[in-house]
């Protein structure tokens, strides 16, 4: 199971606190509901989503006359699962050729996620190529090339400071000539000047649309789970400059509280497509909302 080993580390405290709040209660009262609100909010679940979850649980308790703590936990897991489940939108597009633009701030795990995703796609039998279009960050192309060598895929790159769209153009021509299934493009992670970033991404999109109109598209935003609510602001900021089709949430391990998954999926109606649960090349997992929610309480 995806969360068998990881779940205790990033959800153990939340599960334990809910269990403690339920301990010794003969009925589920307003005091428990108030305590549940606090637990969810301090687990990085936003206020709006927290109130939705608690209101849904209140309805379940009242309608079905629920009192047993074990049943409450099961119902709460099902509620959380329903809130974050985006169904088919959570799956990476399976059409080929496919162009994936990887977006996110520097230091969020973007390059590592590209490498892991390339490996995963290779394991599925797809051919993959990488484009080093983050041409302004020092050594970005070199880091991507290290991952390319590691997973056995070609990387198209230019000199540092080159036009990112020129890299995309050359990568598309190469991918088309070699009949590559998936082209994954690294992009700059600068948010200091949103206009420059927007212009850059718009130019890339125009190049892809003009040179590769038959290709399917994904724009994946890479977020560091350990940044908590700061990740929410990144969804807002990048959502202003790009049409995001899904989230890759990295570093969802012993240092992350995990609730940010619930906030992003609900408040932004944004599918979480992959989660990073470790440093290994295999540690990029497809997101399963049911397993995720059940993992909160199955200690």
Binding residues: 104-111, 186-190, 250-253
d(CA 249, CA 286) in angstroms, rounded, equals 10
In whole angstroms, how far apart are CA 198 and each of 3, 50, 138, 190, 194?
A: 36, 33, 21, 10, 6
Binding site membership for GTP: which residues? 104-111, 186-190, 250-253
Radius of gyration of the chain (CA): 21
Largest pairwise CA distance in the chain? 69
Question: In terms of DSSP H, where are the helices of the chain?
Answer: 7-22, 30-41, 47-64, 69-84, 110-123, 140-151, 164-177, 194-211, 230-241, 260-267, 289-295
In whole angstroms, how far apart are CA 31 and each of 28, 86, 178, 222, 244?
A: 8, 32, 63, 38, 39
Q: Are strands 272-276 and 246-250 parallel, antiparallel or unpaired?
A: parallel
- CA 270 to chain CA centroid, Å, is 9
């Amino acid at each position: 199971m995806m969360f068998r080993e990881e779940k205790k580390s990033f959800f153990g405290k939340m599960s334990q606190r809910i269990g403690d709040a339920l301990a010794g209660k003969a009925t589920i009262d307003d005091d428990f509901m108030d305590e549940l609100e606090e637990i969810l909010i301090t687990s990085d679940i936003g206020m709006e989503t927290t109130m939705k979850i608690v209101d849904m649980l209140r309805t379940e308790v009242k309608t079905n006359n629920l009192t047993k703590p074990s049943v409450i936990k099961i119902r709460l897991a099902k509620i959380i699962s329903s809130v974050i489940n985006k169904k088919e939108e959570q799956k990476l597009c399976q059409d080929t050729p496919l162009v994936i633009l990887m977006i996110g701030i520097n230091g969020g795990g973007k390059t590592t996620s590209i490498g892991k995703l390339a490996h995963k796609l290779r394991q599925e039998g797809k051919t993959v190529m990488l484009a080093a279009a983050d041409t302004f960050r020092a050594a970005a192309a070199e880091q991507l090339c290290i991952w390319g060598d590691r997973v056995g895929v070609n990387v198209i790159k230019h000199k540092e400071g080159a036009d990112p769209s020129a890299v995309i153009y050359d990568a598309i021509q190469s991918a088309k000539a070699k009949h590559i299934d998936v082209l994954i493009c690294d992009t700059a992670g600068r948010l200091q000047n949103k206009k420059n970033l927007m212009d850059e991404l718009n130019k890339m999109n125009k190049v892809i649309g003009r040179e590769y109109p038959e290709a399917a598209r994904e724009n994946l935003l890479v977020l560091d789970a350990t940044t908590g609510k700061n990740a929410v602001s990144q969804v807002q900021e990048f959502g202003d400059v790009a049409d995001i089709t899904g989230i890759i949430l990295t570093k969802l391990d012993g240092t992350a509280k995990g609730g940010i998954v619930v906030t992003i999926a609900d408040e932004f109606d944004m599918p979480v497509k992959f989660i990073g649960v470790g440093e290994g090349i295999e540690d990029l997992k497809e997101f399963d909302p049911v397993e995720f929610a059940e993992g909160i309480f199955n200690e």
